[in-house]
Amino acid sequence: MQSHKHVVQEIAASVQHYFKRREPFRIYHGSTNSTRQTTHWRENTVDISPLSRVLKVDTNARTASVEPNVPMDRLVESTLKHGLIPPVVMEFPGITAGGGFAGTGGESSSFKYGYFNECVNSAEMVLGNGDIITASDKENADLFHGASGAVGSLGITTLLEIQLLQAKKYVKVTYHPTRSIPEAIAKIKAEIQNPELDYVDGILFSKNHGVVITGCLTDDIPDSAQVQRFSGANDPWYYLHVKEKTLRSLQSIAEYVPLSEYLFRYDRGGFWVGASAFEYFKFPFNHYTRWFLDDFLHTRMLYRALHASGQSRNYIVQDLALPFSTAEKFIDYTIDSFGIWPLWLCPLRQSRLPTLHPHFSETEADGQTLKPMLNVGLWGFGPAQHDKFIAKNRELERKLREFRGMKWLYAHTYYDEDEFWELYDRRWYDGLRRKYQAESLPSVWHKVKVDPNAHKQAIEGSWGSWALQFWPLGGLWGIRKAIESGEYLIARNSTWKRKDDF
């Protein structure tokens, strides 16, 4: 802990320096799972990238003390040593604990536990004036609640205490085929009422082929059962495996997956975004080519390549949460307007209001419990022409609002400032900014907005950015930068792949 305290004191001193000079500053984390183009400014930047350790796992209290830049795979590896697991684990191994707290982190257990921040007991934070405080439900409770989803705009998170629960060796995964979009939505809505389930999500492959996927933690598997894995280069990509097993079946199908393999089942291929790389390069997409190129097809490498290639500027990566009652019509709109398949479905328990997470205010019959939402993952190529891409995203934002939905703020956000604050409680948020000396930090809107003119300016101002527009230069440059990062070694050397026993 002494080393941690020393790093935090240095961060606090740096923040205090900018505060006294009344200079704005930005925070550098060292990694990102956002699809917005980012730049690491050396001036007026507070570097918190050294905060990347699991400091303690308390088996009696069932908690873990975790620095913000600890990625999910390292967190899982640390807690599984003690037979414990966080209630919500984001499905990409490189998503960090701090990103899950400050952003919107939801997964297939979120119908039960809510977003990742609902699993956090307390957060150590450096305020905008350099003060170091603890926020929890018992102290600075308004900041603790507001900082979740505020993307670091209310202070710098430097330590989290995360709840843990008893892990089990396997997840019994059951695939429930559906043959229409309404059937899939209704099936998810029914399954989240089952208290015995630990995980629920779904995949829509087409209008008449969907799969609702449920999971139960278990230590016991039948002697005849074959354990299914997804992390090895020769293993199937998860979504392709699900598609093949259910394509011609009307009956539910069960199989057993090691717990860590289930948690990171979408890593290889980045759900199905990795297939777009084959489409971009006009390269055969089959088991052999996926095996041969496996190092490049884990999410860390895909993110590196996406940013470096410039392709994130015209690739739709949006998570869109809606009331169950409007989800079908919204999905019909995305099919007609974007034609992107598959679609991911993930039910979400809402956070209490006000919040910067996706929300809507309808309650259950008790008048208190907020109704769950259904997330739609829309990931695929958008229009290649920049102006049309912007127009399509703006149309998506308008339609989403029409259906009372909200987007996750990690992705491209084009709302102007007035539009943005029509969706969220500005008085509440600005009050927290004033109270906790956060006004020297960029606001949440400034952090998440995309400047439609920045792309054109970047191209006009740099021959390198201009050249990336032309096939296949952007893709080849993305591959080069991904290789130079060395992040393919992380997937190769991850020990969670061998965590059948603990």
Residue 107: strand, helix, or coil: coil
Two tokens, residue 64: 């873990």
Quote the CA–CA distance of 106 and 344 in Å, as a whole number. Answer: 12
Strands (E), 52-155: 54-58, 63-66, 84-85, 120-126, 132-136
Quote the CA–CA distance of 442 and 410 in Å, as a whole number. Answer: 15
Q: What pLDDT was estimated at residue 99?
A: 96
* DSSP type of residue 471: T
Cα torsion 294, 296, 301, 306 to 10°: value is: -130
Name the residue among 290, 373, 264 with its Cα closest to residue 325.
Answer: 373
Strands 170-178 and 315-323: unpaired
Would you write out the chain's pLDDT as a tens digit for each of its 502 residues? Answer: 889 999 999 999 999 999 999 888 888 988 655 454 555 455 789 999 999 999 999 999 999 999 999 999 999 999 999 999 999 999 999 999 999 999 999 999 999 999 999 999 999 999 999 999 999 999 999 999 999 999 999 999 999 999 999 999 999 999 999 999 999 999 999 999 999 999 999 999 999 999 999 999 999 999 989 899 999 999 999 999 999 999 999 999 999 999 999 999 999 999 999 999 999 999 999 999 999 999 999 999 999 999 899 888 889 999 999 999 999 999 999 999 999 999 999 999 999 999 999 999 999 999 999 999 999 999 999 998 889 999 999 999 999 999 999 999 998 899 999 999 999 999 999 999 999 999 989 999 999 999 888 766 766 667 777 788 888 999 999 999 999 999 999 999 999 987 565 6
Q: Are 372 and 366 in contact (CB under 8 A)?
A: no
Host H or E run for residue 165: strand 165-166
Strands (E), 368-483: 373-381, 406-407
Two tokens, residue 245: 């097993």
Q: What is the pTM (predicted TM-score) of this model?
A: 0.95
Residue 40 burial by Cβ neighbours in a 10 Å radius (0-12, 13-18, 19+): exposed
Q: What pLDDT was estimated at residue 36?
A: 47
